[in-house]
């Protein structure tokens, strides 16, 4: 499988949308009884075999790795907290283009991710 096949982006924001669609279309979203982070390289190897699967954090880190490889380097993961012990219920990626100060949500697990400001303040922010 060629990752860049069918990509005809004209700018970095279109590249980000292409990456989001690529991950959504090629990685099967699965739940995990215990948290195990799948390395992006492992997901790419599994993609080549036609059997890539992961949960929201796996899909977000793969999207972040692909964006970083494309030169979009202002990235952060956000986790929506479930409780005070730090367990989270969802992870997604945000990116910011060099010429823009607004963070944009990128979430391959949903068709239309909300804008970052729509999530509220229930986050732990971590660098990618």
CA distance 90 to 71: 26
Please check whether residue 74 lies inside any domain of the structure. Answer: yes
- Residue 5: inside a domain: no
pLDDT digits (tens, 9 = 90+) for 1-34: 555 555 567 888 888 999 999 999 999 999 877 7
Predicted local distance difference test score (pLDDT) of residue 13:
86
Does residue 2 fall inside a structural domain? no
Evaluate whether residue 95 is within a structural domain.
yes
How many whole angstroms separate alpha carbon 72 and alpha carbon 91?
Answer: 19
Containing 104, the helix (H) or strand (E) segment is strand 104-106
Average pLDDT score over residue span 61-71? 94
Asked if the structure places residue 76 within a domain, the reply is yes
Averaged pLDDT, 80-94: 74
95-111 mean pLDDT: 85
Range of the domain at 68: 12-127
Q: Which residue has the higher pLDDT, 39 or 4?
A: 39
Is 110 within a domain?
Answer: yes
| Domain-embedded: residue 7 | no
Taking 90 as the threshold, does the pLDDT of residue 53 lie above it? yes
Asked whether residue 6 is assigned to any structural domain, the reply reads: no
Question: How many domains, in total, are found in the chain?
Answer: 1
CATH number where 50 lies: 3.10.620.30
Q: How many residues does the chain have?
A: 128
């Amino acid at each position: 499988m060629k990752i860049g096949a069918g990509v005809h982006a004209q700018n970095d924001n279109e590249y980000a949308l292409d990456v989001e669609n690529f991950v959504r279309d090629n990685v099967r979203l699965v739940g995990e009884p215990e948290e195990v982070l799948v390395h992006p390289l492992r997901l790419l190897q599994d993609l080549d075999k036609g059997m890539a699967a992961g949960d929201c954090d796996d899909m977000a880190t793969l999207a972040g790795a692909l964006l970083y490889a494309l030169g979009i380097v202002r990235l952060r993961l956000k986790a929506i907290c479930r409780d005070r012990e730090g367990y989270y219920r969802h992870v997604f990626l945000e990116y910011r283009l060099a010429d823009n100060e607004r963070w944009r949500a990128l979430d391959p697990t949903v068709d239309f991710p909300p804008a970052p400001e729509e999530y509220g303040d229930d986050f732990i922010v971590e660098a990618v």
